[in-house]
Structure 1
Amino acid sequence: MSDEILINVTLTETRVAVVENGLLQELYLERDDDASYVGNIYMGRVERVLPGMQAAFVNIGLDRTAFLHANDILPRQPELNEEGEPVQPPAISELVHQGQQLLVQVIKDPLGSKGARLTTQLSIPSRYLVLLPEVANIGVSVRIETDEERQRLKDLLRSLIGEQVKAGFILRTNAEGVGEEALAKDIDYLRRLWARIEASVGSAKPGQCIYEDLSLPYRSLRDHMHAGIDKVRIDDQATQERAVRFAKEFFPEWSDRIEHYRADGPLFDLYGVEDEISRALSRVAPLKSGGHLAIDQTEAMTTVDVNTGAYVGFRNLEETIYKTNLEAAQAIARQLRLRNLGGIIIIDFIDMNDPEHKRQVLRTLQRALARDHARSTVSEISPLGLVEMTRKRTTESLEHRLCEPCKACDGRGRVKSVETVCAEIFREILRAVRQFETGQLRVMATPTVVHRILEDHHRSIAELTEQLGTSIQFQPEEQYGQEQFDVVLL
């Protein structure tokens, strides 16, 4: 099977699915009222400087002030002293002051209660290049691995930009194998775009957006379209027509691969994308062998636990564990991409005794992560059998985008047992009788709780009414959650 990009456009949201060999690998979502700010450039105003955190809060016109760390203000290339050692960076109070206006770019969307993350180190991407307006050097993506190709691209870019240009460029992974004409077109596009941005800076007011990155469909084409993509299917004709015009400007040789999806069935029913999205919201991700991954997100980190489950397919335990961990390593890399999990990630592989098995599992994980567009770092397996890794996070995870905390359990993932609620009701009855003089009480709770009290605790109710000298009525309420109840004085 070939790779495809599926773009589903509706009145309220746009979704982009990247499918590799018939299997969903990545999903991007943009809603009209919840668009991403990453890549946008704003004229910001410093609201507060926090010396203890080496950071500042900056107003860029969003609901919450954004966060700017000192490291994101300093030049990308650290200054060196005469001995060639890095110079101690200045304090945040020496870099910015309250009320100062700054040209800043969003590098991370607001997440949870945190505001957006900013940088003054601007970068503007195109199809093959990233423009660095204030840095005069050339970089090459680490995913272009051959020395010959890296040097070819550097030489070609230098010949195109000349020696007098102050701006720098990074050659993206997509640039591998491209020729002079394609790079020249990108350079011209980026120069014209930067000239427009510079012209807008002088008259910009604090909180004004000076440059807005492409909307999701075209951003996806820019970042994900490559020779291996056989088709791009778009179920909205107007979006498809604009996408073709966009493609003819940046990669005309592939523009004929973008087609309007006209079939009767929903686009995301192809390759079972909707089913895959539903499964990605589950805590458990099954493995083909019968094992499974248990994936838990917390505020601080994401944990992944590998379990053999029902898998007993090999002649000895060590071999069974090894095969399960190998399969899990590839599945974990896919789940991280699909669920858009980032930050600190702890993987608990099943304990292995053979050092070579540990090395092979780690290599498998690293190779599987190589296809991921998000940058990640992976540590060695610790003495406790854990792998610590980080994955760059710029937007919220799939679960946080599509779900909200459960109102019944307040996001805990657990509710009190029926027996626990019954005990709480008895305590509340005693508290009410001691606090108020009354001859009658009414208890309202979910039918399950009321049934348990009347069936299993009827003797306790009889003793309680005799002891307290009061009558108690029980009223089932269908709309109540399991933990919810009321004791009402009549």
Structure 2
Amino acid sequence: MNGTQIILGEHKGRRAAARMVDGQLDDLLIDAGDDRPGIGAIFRAICDRPIKGQGGMFLKLGAGLTGWHRNAKGLAPGQTMLVQVTGHAEPGKAVPVTDRVLFKSRYCIVTPRAPGLNVARSLTDDVERDRLLEIANDAVPERDGHGIILRTACEGIDEETLVDDLTQTWGLAMQVLGDEGSVADLLLDGPDAHTLAWREWDGDDISENWDTVEDQLDTLRDTAVAIGPATFFIEPTRALTAVDVNTPEGGAGGLKANLALARALPRQLRLRGIGGQIVLDLAPMSKKDRKAFESALRGAFRADSIETSLIGWTPLGHFELTRRRERRPTEELL
């Protein structure tokens, strides 16, 4: 099947969503079956203890959960604050959080304590930008020092749909921001797989035929990925994820295999829910070909939604990158 299709369903009784592009699984979201907080969850937190030398603060989140805030400046033990989960913590580690809380929907983002009414830079048509700004300003005229960003999905949207989304998101934000409690507690759950798919994925072709997805999930359990004559192996460990590229072809075949890896890597990491430190053990190629590989890798990750930093080459000739832990490892969820 050509084009993009969004498939909503369940995997082992948990909500799941998949994005198919030209019949191939391109992205996957599956709800976890435990009580660990998801990204986007908002807590009323209590500052616990600062960590000297790291500049951060451990926080009590309630229900026995501990959070980690990277910036302890201006914070004191016992202080109450609103925080939002920014990543998935490994078992036994504190949950990463930020005090820069955002309320996201498909069409807008409410930005507490960051005033302004703005439109996504990707919307370049001045007439459309003015139309959207006028609708938003009429829907939420009094913003009390908070801000709104109108997302790319707003383009061409009818006024009624946008107003409904704005007023609902704004109302939720004001409800949470108006909390006056003093005990560490969860105030707002992170979005489930269906909500996140609606919020972040474009596509009008919606299906509930989950069997189409199940047929492709087995490939994610295999560490080997074959592309033409080349095969690369994606092997997570506790410390890092190693990616090993193998090809029977010598000479220019090494560069060809490495370029194939560069194009395929963002999708594979996204589908497998892999983040953290990643080390690429590439097929042999000359040093003069490194720039071509780096350019291909940078271009491939530019279209990926998860923040990834290309670190560079090691003395042994490996290439390192780091990736935000925005998802649980798919292996755990399957």
TM interval, shorter chain, is 0.7 to 0.9
From 105, 108, 121, the equivalent of 2:87 is: 108
- Extract unaligned runs of 5+ from structure 2: none
Question: 1:57 is aligned with what amino acid?
Answer: F
Please give the alpha-carbon distance, in whole angstroms, between the structure 2 residues aligned to 1:140 and 1:397: 33
Shift of 1:323: 1.8
Question: What residue in structure 2 maps to residue 209 of structure 1?
Answer: 186
Structure 1 residue runs of 5 or longer lacking an equivalent are: 71-91, 235-260, 262-266, 403-490
Tell whether 2:266 aligns with 1:338: no
For the pair 1:9 / 2:10, whether they are aligned, the reply is: yes
Question: In structure 2, what residue type is equivalent to 1:123?
Answer: L
Equivalent position of 1:298 in the other structure:
237
Retained in 2: the 8 A contact 1:36–1:395?
Answer: no
Q: CA deviation at 1:379?
A: 4.1
The 8 Å contact of residues 284 and 294 in structure 1, kept in 2 or not, is answered as yes
Counterpart of 1:321 (choices 251, 254, 257) is 254
Distance, in Å, in 2 between the alignment partners of 1:389 and 1:358 is: 15
Q: 8 Å contact 1:358–1:381 — kept in the other structure?
A: no
The 5 A counterparts of 1:304-453 are 304-308=243-247, 310=248, 312=249, 317-353=250-286, 355=288, 357-380=289-312, 384-402=316-334
Kindly provide the amino acid, as one letter, of the partner of residue 322 in structure 1: L
The alignment's TM-score, normalised by the length of structure 1, stands at: 0.60
Look up the SS of the partner of 1:396 in the other structure.
Answer: coil
From 97, 104, 129, the equivalent of 2:108 is: 129
The residue type equivalent to 2:230 in the other structure is G
SS at match of 1:95: coil
User: How far off is 1:26 after superposition?
Assistant: 1.9
**Per-residue Cα deviation, 1:291-337 (whole angstroms, up to 9, x for no partner):** 111222223322212111x4x4xxxx432222212212122122111
- Partner SS, residue 283 of structure 2: coil
Where does 1:275-290 land on structure 2 (aligned, <5 Å)?
275-287=215-227, 289-290=228-229
Aligned residue among 137, 149, 163 for 1:161: 137
Structure 2 Cα separation of the partners of residues 136 and 100 of structure 1:
25
Aligned residues: 328
CA distance in 1, matches of 2:116, 2:97: 22
Root-mean-square deviation over aligned CA pairs: 2.9
Q: Residue in 1 aligned with 2:68? A: 67
Whether the 8 Å contact between 1:108 and 1:117 is mirrored in structure 2 is yes
Alignment partner, residue 175 of structure 2: 196
Structure 2 contact 245–283 (Cα < 8 Å) conserved: yes
Alpha carbons 1:124, 1:190 under 8 Å: kept: yes
Describe how 1:136-285 pairs up with structure 2 within 5 A. 136-137=115-116, 144=122, 148-149=124-125, 158-159=133-134, 160-161=136-137, 165=143, 166-175=145-154, 177-179=155-157, 181=159, 183-199=162-178, 201-202=179-180, 204-224=181-201, 226=202, 229-234=203-208, 261=209, 267-268=210-211, 270=212, 273-285=213-225
1:63 maps to amino acid: G
Distance 1:375 1:174 in 2: 20
What's the % identity of the aligned pairs? 24
> Residue 55 of structure 1 contacts residue 68 of structure 1 at CA under 8 Å; is this kept in 2?
yes
Does the residue aligned with 1:37 lie in a helix, a strand or coil?
coil
**Deviation of residue 364 (structure 1)?**
2.5
TM-score, length-scaled by structure 2: 0.85
Query: After alignment, is 114-123 or 323-332 more displaced?
Result: 323-332
Separation in 1, partners of 2:205, 2:54 = 48
> Taking CA–CA contacts closer than 8 Å with sequence separation of 6 or more, which of the two structures ends up with the larger relative contact order?
2
Q: 1:215-246: per-residue Cα shift (whole Å, max 9, x none)? A: 3212211211x2xx252222xxxxxxxxxxxx
Counterpart of 1:294 in structure 2: which amino acid? F
State the match for 1:238 in structure 2: none
* Structure (1/2) with the larger strand percentage: 2
- Whether the 8 Å CA contact 1:133–1:167 is kept in 2: the answer is yes
Structure in which a larger fraction of residues adopt helix? 1
CA offsets 1:142-163 (integer angstroms, 9 cap, x no match)? 7x3x8x35x6776555544389
SS at match of 1:14: strand
Distance in 1 separating the partners of 2:236 and 2:118: 35
| CA gap 1:51/1:178 in 2 versus in 1, 3 angstroms | farther
